[in-house]
Chains A and B, each alone.
Chain A
Amino acid sequence: MSANVDRHWRSFKWAAWLGWQIESNWTEPWLFAIYSVIKPVAGAFILVLMYVVFAAIGTGGNFTDPAGLARFNFIYIGNAFFIFVGNTLFGTFQVIQADREWYQTLRYVYISPISYYTYIVGRAFTKISIATFAVLITLAFGVAFLHIRVDLALEEVPAFLAALVLGALCLVGIGVSLSALSFLTARHVRGLAEGVPGIFYLFCGVLFPLSILPEWGQALGKAIPLTYWFEILRRILMPPAMLTEIATTSPTTLESFGLVEVLVLLLVSATLFLVLSVGLFRLMEWLARRAGKLDMTTAY
């Protein structure tokens, strides 16, 4: 038992270290820090400019309209936490393709005495850590320069952290499940990296309240646990007056769910996704070995 735990811990630890080296050792630390800041801030600024265009046309240039500001706050916070989604998913399902096709090292890593499943999780951990930094930077930038209001009371911190961890576990489960598919698919990581987060971006109410979507889109959104994750994070972080403004003009349709209900839902979802990821990983690994696809290259 202990040897097994040791093996998983060793796999996780060295995979995370390897991930960090791949992410950061191509340059100086200061350049890496700038690189890590520019991407999320640029992503946030896209939303700022979209809001500027709307305000110029839709409100006659009134940038302080309360409804508009509440919507902008809603979008900004959702977008900031979406960095976790993009990074965690890309961090997990790029591992197999990167090792197999870019570095052509999968065969060596695979035959080494580690758990390859835990290895993928370890590699993803690096991305989650970098995403945490990017989320903090984005939120701090918004508060400092863009009139974003974050209202986190001390007694809400445990719920916030619990939601954050459960959401991250959900994402790792989804990420490893998709990563397992890439055992059999060709070099589609980039399409997956854009597309799968795109599903969550569109249907989970990241950038707009769910009521904006058509009925079928709302139903789909409500079936994805991450929708509730974004809802609860915003409910904890946004000022109540802004939440009321959103609920009046464009409700999220999730207002009836309580904090505990959402946390339980996230716990169950995270467990299910992690179990699914183990099963799918084993199945795809077996199929890839049988088809001789473990070290195929498909780049052209």
Chain B
Amino acid sequence: MTTTVNPVTLNLRAVWGRAYVRIVGANREPSWIFFDGILPLLGIAAYVFIYEGFFRGISTPEARAALNALVGFVVLGGVMIAFWMNVLWSMASQLYWEKEMGNLQLYMMAPMSRLALLGGMAIGGIFMTSVRALVTLIAGIYVFGVHFTLANPLLLLAVFFVTLIALYGMGMMFASLYLLWGREAYHMSALLEEPIFLVSGFYFPIGAFPQVGAWGRAIAIGGSIIPATLGLDALRQILFPATTASFQFLDVQTELLLLVVLAVVFLILARHTLGYMEMLARREGRLTARHQ
């Protein structure tokens, strides 16, 4: 007897099934809130104090406003770092580790779309990371005393969610590529930390790049392929309109449009790279071989 299941229902179940493991796993082991939520705040605080140190002795109202915005930039950067780290270590590297643990062949045999699997992974990851992001944001407001200007909440939400979709779409694409790169995956993720913190301007406005020369502008443009770069710049412009004027890279509308394009492109590329990976799995039969 054969049972027909609606493919949409099947894939939605697969999304929920993969997300469930992360959500429930997180609840069963609440110690991660301290390790992944509270401890990373200390590193962010250090960058806040760098700006505090620079501005020590300068007490004009303009300097105070600039300091508030720069501390806010660091806090927003900290929020985005949480998502970027999750994309690197829990999305991009995940299929590689699943292979090492012997789960990948089970995923390949299951009758669902591989995109549904990655989608579930992303939703579970966003849930876990949102806690860290929220802790960072609350610390920014109550511990570092950052004042935001929330003039257009809808635009803010639109930018934030499109950025997340683009970012996790990139992670889904990387997941297949990392699988092909094998043990280089770990090093690739490590390599995409500080250099991406730099080119995406996690601790400073991306508009500062052109001020260090023509090559700076080139880095800013090149770095825009990382959705966090444009998303972060747009969020900062929405929340700190006065201070970002002197460091404007692109206007918010253009950045939102580019983010939509990036989201679509990365999701399409993720589908293609998954297909390529599956083709290799069938043709060469080596994708489930461990320690390569």
- In angstroms, Cα B35 to Cα A198, docked, is 12
Question: From DSSP, what is the main secondary structure of chain B's interface residues?
Answer: helix
The contact of B50 among A27, A207, A299, by CB within 8 Å, is A207
Q: Is B31 an interface residue (CB 8 A)?
A: yes
Known A46-B198, A197-B43: A54·B54 in contact at CB below 8 Å: yes
The contact of A191 among B39, B62, B66, by CB within 8 Å, is B39
- In angstroms, Cα B54 to Cα A207, docked, is 11
Contacts of B70 in A (CB 8 A): 53-54, 57
Known A49-B212, A190-B89, A300-B21: A202·B54 in contact at CB below 8 Å: no
Q: Is A208 an interface residue (CB 8 A)?
A: yes
- Could you mark each residue 159-183 of chain A with 1 if its beta carbon is under 8 Å from any beta carbon of chain B, else 0? 0000000000000000000000000
* Residue pair B190, A58 in contact (C-beta under 8 Å): no
* Residue pair B204, A49 in contact (C-beta under 8 Å): yes
Tell me the minimal C-beta distance from A149 to chain B in angstroms: 19
* Residue pair B53, A58 in contact (C-beta under 8 Å): no
Contacts of A213 in B (CB 8 A): 49
* Residue pair B66, A57 in contact (C-beta under 8 Å): yes
Q: Is A147 an interface residue (CB 8 A)?
A: no
The contact of A186 among B31, B47, B50, B89, by CB within 8 Å, is B31
- Could you mark each residue 35-70 of chain B with 1 if its beta carbon is under 8 Å from any beta carbon of chain A, else 0? 110111111111101111111111000110010001
The residue of chain A having its C-beta at the shortest distance from the C-beta of B181 within the complex is A26
- In angstroms, Cα B51 to Cα A196, docked, is 22
* Residue pair A50, B50 in contact (C-beta under 8 Å): yes
* Residue pair A191, B40 in contact (C-beta under 8 Å): yes
Known A50-B204, A186-B31: A299·B97 in contact at CB below 8 Å: yes
Question: From DSSP, what is the main secondary structure of chain A's interface residues?
Answer: helix
The contact of B36 among A50, A75, A190, A300, by CB within 8 Å, is A190
* Residue pair A297, B101 in contact (C-beta under 8 Å): yes
**Which of the four size classes fits the interface of chain A?**
35 or more
Total CB contacts across the A-B interface at under 8 A: 161
* Residue pair A185, B53 in contact (C-beta under 8 Å): no
Q: Is B284 an interface residue (CB 8 A)?
A: no
The contact of A46 among B21, B63, B194, by CB within 8 Å, is B194
Tell me the minimal C-beta distance from B123 to chain A in angstroms: 14
Contacts of B183 in A (CB 8 A): 26
* Residue pair B53, A45 in contact (C-beta under 8 Å): no
The contact of A201 among B35, B43, B56, B194, by CB within 8 Å, is B43
Q: Which of B84-103 contact A (CB under 8 A)?
A: 85, 89, 97, 100-101
- Could you mark each residue 41-71 of chain A with 1 if its beta carbon is under 8 Å from any beta carbon of chain B, else 0? 0110111111111101110000000001001
* Residue pair B187, A27 in contact (C-beta under 8 Å): yes
A-B contact pairs, 28 of them (CB 8 A): A26-B182, A35-B187, A39-B194, A42-B195, A46-B203, A49-B204, A49-B209, A49-B212, A52-B208, A53-B247, A54-B55, A56-B246, A57-B62, A58-B55, A68-B54, A102-B100, A103-B100, A191-B32, A194-B40, A195-B40, A195-B43, A198-B39, A198-B40, A201-B46, A202-B43, A208-B53, A212-B53, A250-B56
Which are the 4 A-B pairs with shortest beta-carbon distances? A195-B39, A191-B35, A198-B42, A208-B53
